[in-house]
Structure 1
C-alpha cells in the first residue's frame, strides 16, 4: 500500500506540472508560434487562426484527461474507485480522446488531399492509430471498472 501511495503522490506532482505546461502552450507558445509562422510565410497566413483553435482544442482535451485522472486518483486514495461516479470520469476521458481522434482524423484527410510527400501523412496516420489504441484500451478498462463496481456492490449487499 505504501508504494501505491507514493505512486499516486508522484503522479499528482507530474499531473500538476503537465497541466501548467499545457496552459503555457495553450495561451502563449502555440498562438505565438502560429503568429510567427504567418509572418514568415504570408502565403499560409490564412491557416493561423484555424491552426490556433485546433491546437488549443487538442490541448484542452489533454487538460480534461489530466483533471479526470486527478479525480480518479482521489477516488483511488479514498477507496471509492469502484463506484458509478468513477465511470463518469472515465467517460469524460473517452470523450476527450474521441475529440482528439476526430480532429487528427480531419487533419489527416486534409493533409492527404494536399500532400506531395508521404512523410506528414504517415506521421498523422501513426498518431491516429495510437489515439485509436488508447481509446479502445480505455473502453476495455471502463468495462473492467463497471464489472468490478458491480461485483463490489454485490459483495457489499451480501456483507
Structure 2
C-alpha cells in the first residue's frame, strides 16, 4: 500500500465527517442561531434572514470545495491527476473559494461599519486576508499542476 493510499482513506473519512457537520450547521444550527439572535436582540432582528442566507451560502461554498477535493482524490488514486480532467475540479475550487471570499468581504464591509468595538472588524479583516491568501494559493497551485501536467505529457510522448 502506497503512502498516498494510506493518506487518502483517512482524508476521505474526515471529508465525510466535515460535510455532514456542515449539513447540520446549514439546516439546524445557523437558522436556529439567527432566530435566537433576533428574539434576544430585537434591534438586530432585521439581520436574521440576510445572515441566515449568507451563512448557508458560505457553507455551501465549503461543501463544493469538499466535493471537488473528493473528485481530485479519486484522480490521484487512479493515477490520472495529471490530466485535463483535474483542471475542471481545481477551477471549481477556485470559483467556490472566490465566491466565499467575496461574500465574506461584503459582510466584513457591512458589519465593520456597524461595530462599536474594534475587535470584530480586526478579526474579520484578518479572516479576509487569510481567505485572499487561500484563493491566491490555490491559483498558484493550479499553475503548478498545469506545469506538471505539461511535463508529464511531454515525458509520456518521449517514452
Q: If the TM-score is normalised by the length of the shorter chain, which range does it land in? A: over 0.9
1:28-65 per-residue CA deviation (whole Å, 9 max, x = no partner) reads: 11101111111111121111100000000000000000
CA distance in 1, matches of 2:113, 2:10: 44
Structure 1 unmatched runs, 5+ = none
CA distance in 2, matches of 1:3, 1:84: 24
Q: Report the equivalent of 1:158.
A: 158
- Deviation at residue 124 of structure 1 after TM alignment: 0.5
The range that moved more, 16-25 or 115-124, is 115-124
CA-atom RMSD in angstroms: 1.0
TM-score by length of 1: 0.96
Structure 2 unmatched runs, 5+ = none
Q: Report the equivalent of 1:12.
A: 12
Is residue 136 from structure 1 mapped to residue 144 from structure 2 by the alignment?
no
Q: Runs of 4+ in structure 1 displaced over 6 angstroms? A: none
State the aligned residue count.
159
TM-score by length of 2: 0.96
